[in-house]
Amino acid sequence: MGIPQQINRQELADLQKSEAVRILIEAAAQATPVTAALATILRFTHPSDLQKALDKQRSDMIATAVDHEARLSVVEAFVRPRLRISIRALALGRAVSELSTGTLGRRFLVRIYRHLPS
């Protein structure tokens, strides 16, 4: 799945112009209740080109997001069983985070070593 197709500026400007004309015609059709109802039905059954382009762009973006999520799930499933941390490594990490003062001197390493399990 590739990158979703974006609407370029010129195409968007053309679509907006045709949308403006469509809105003016629909507004004129609101004069009587019958034509207003027909305009509403036609707006639903025959969406504008701008609306179609936006719907396509949205569906492409959703498809891309779903594809990325599926790919991440595969990577997580591949990596998860391989990440193993020993008890000594956990204890060392905990000791470093608790005792860290920004310097690794000899006394600091001795204090860490005391916290490690036998």
- Are 93 and 73 part of one and the same domain? no
Exposure b/e, 20-51, CB count within 10 A at least 16 = b: eebeeebeebeeeeeeeeebeeeeeeeebebe
Q: Are residues 19 and 76 in the same domain?
A: yes
Query: pLDDT value at position 10?
Result: 84
How many domains is the chain partitioned into structurally?
Answer: 2
Is 45 in the same domain as 72?
yes
Average pLDDT over residues 98-102: 65
Q: What is the residue range of 48's domain?
A: 1-83
Instruction: For 43-75, write each residue's pLDDT tens digit.
Output: 888 888 888 888 888 888 899 888 998 998 888
